[in-house]
Structure 1
């Protein structure tokens, strides 16, 4: 679809640029509109925030592909913010990965990540993350690239090997996923500069960095290591949860709506709800 092309090309321009940017963590149409209005170049829909929004559940991979793709489609319909989505393990084996890519491409996302963590957590793992075999990970990456119908769609090969198995294993996986043909590398849990230097030397692809150690917060340094996207967490949904709780509590305790702190202005509500566009439609089609 033509409207997906522009946003996918804008996402790719971030990856091919020389700067490191941070995405807006969005989880519904309103937050995507607000992020676009603020000026964010790209957004991210995480599996965790999608699970919280759609199910009110923690991130235990209980959200289905259909539910996730539907939420991504809602966001994409409401805003032209280029959207990176966390597709977890692809919801199964390499064949499921292919279906995941097809569904998310149809939903209009600009980029997606497929990871090599053993998900959902198997019996007996006791909360400790584990990696799937490298050969299986390579198969998933190859399947993802074979499945994407739009060459502008970005597939990120994602690994948490740095925090699970160390820098050398992470480097090995990054090199293998690069050879498998992915468009970008997504690293999670890189602890420090030494590890990033080791790992980034294994690929010439742009890097997305999440869950990084405190040394890895300088955009200029990261840009020099080919990191083009730095995740900063998913605070907006946590803040929204707290704001909703405090507002409900205040009203329950007899507070007046007019006295509540932190309520948005009419202008901000108008942006979140795209009121100008709807006002135009009413004028054009309902006023006779």
Structure 2
């Protein structure tokens, strides 16, 4: 299968003995840069998807179609394995099944399904969780929707910072029993919490943002953390660069005086210009 190697790459990370940091990617250029720099995995977060596609904050406005299409664009542009944040699966358990099918077809190496109540409930300012039973149903539906057995499905919960650590462990163990390939935790703020989670579960762990005291890769690896996210700095950097460039131009700066622009060599590399020219010579008879 065309995406099998990417999924096996993600599986090898999860079954390995190291903790790796993925590169945050969100479009064709960013995934090519991450691939060229040697990242072992790309992370396509829900927040960056919303920013890149809609220009909106991360409040579950992006649709499955938009998310899958952006993933499809990245899959065409590069062969880097990508883990996709599929949020709540865009509805109930039946919607989750469809979400898995669409992201699998779009080339995702793996995806996460979380038990957060999304979209935000009327009149509720604080983040809420769905029931454990509904969460289990979503995990079962995700696994049932998988056509390629190598596609990685992770059960995700933020219960540690929403309800309690005990609830996070209970949910993780229930999702583990469903047969997911790994467990994704957000809201973990102390080593004692991660120690308890590692002790109570058996699957590979993916960790969302965490404080500095939990940044040691050897410690994380010893607690079965195989992937540790480090935020989405690339899109923040890109936003600032575009803002600064447009502001300078608006204020009268000459394009030749602008700083920090991609060189012609870098642009040619990330657009695969040499490959495109070679194809042009081969099939269009174009001269050098």
TM-score bracket, normalised by the shorter chain, equals over 0.9
Measured on the aligned residues, the alpha-carbon RMSD in Å equals: 0.9
- Map 1:5-20; keep pairs closer than 5 Å: 5-20=4-19
User: What do residues 221-248 of structure 1 show as CA deviations (whole Å, max 9, x unaligned)?
Assistant: 0000000000000010011011001000
User: What do residues 100-128 of structure 1 show as CA deviations (whole Å, max 9, x unaligned)?
Assistant: 000000001000000000111100111x1
Matching residue of 2:72: 73
Among 226, 230, 233, which residue is 2:224 paired with?
A: 226
SS at 2:120's partner residue?
Answer: coil
Matching residue of 2:149: 151
User: What do residues 163-205 of structure 1 show as CA deviations (whole Å, max 9, x unaligned)?
Assistant: 1112111111111110011001000110110000111222211
Report the Cα distance in structure 2 between the residues aligned to 1:272 and 1:247, rounded to whole angstroms.
Answer: 20
Deviation (angstroms), 1:3: 2.3
Report the Cα distance in structure 2 between the residues aligned to 1:161 and 1:214, rounded to whole angstroms.
Answer: 21
Among 136, 139, 142, which residue is 1:138 paired with?
A: 136
Q: Which runs of 5+ in 1 are unaligned?
A: none
Matching residue of 1:173: 171
SS at 1:215's partner residue?
Answer: helix
Deviation (angstroms), 1:34: 0.4
Matching residue of 1:55: 54
Count of residues in Structure 1 that have an aligned counterpart in Structure 2 = 286
Report the Cα distance in structure 2 between the residues aligned to 1:23 and 1:180, rounded to whole angstroms.
Answer: 26
Matching residue of 2:90: 91
Report the Cα distance in structure 1 between the residues aligned to 2:26 and 2:110, rounded to whole angstroms.
Answer: 15
Report the Cα distance in structure 2 between the residues aligned to 1:237 and 1:279, rounded to whole angstroms.
Answer: 29
Deviation (angstroms), 1:260: 0.9
**Is 1:164 equivalent to 2:162 in the alignment?**
yes
Deviation (angstroms), 1:213: 2.6
Report the Cα distance in structure 1 between the residues aligned to 2:111 and 2:165, rounded to whole angstroms.
Answer: 24
Deviation (angstroms), 1:267: 2.0
User: What do residues 15-44 of structure 1 show as CA deviations (whole Å, max 9, x unaligned)?
Assistant: 111110011000000000000000000001
Aligned partners of 1:115 and 1:157 also within 8 Å: yes
Report the Cα distance in structure 2 between the residues aligned to 1:47 and 1:207, rounded to whole angstroms.
Answer: 19
Matching residue of 1:121: 120
Aligned partners of 1:34 and 1:271 also within 8 Å: no
SS at 1:201's partner residue?
Answer: helix
TM-score normalised according to structure 2 size: 0.98
Report the Cα distance in structure 2 between the residues aligned to 1:212 and 1:162, rounded to whole angstroms.
Answer: 12
SS at 1:120's partner residue?
Answer: coil
Report the Cα distance in structure 2 between the residues aligned to 1:160 and 1:280, rounded to whole angstroms.
Answer: 49
Matching residue of 1:247: 245
Q: Which runs of 5+ in 2 are unaligned?
A: none
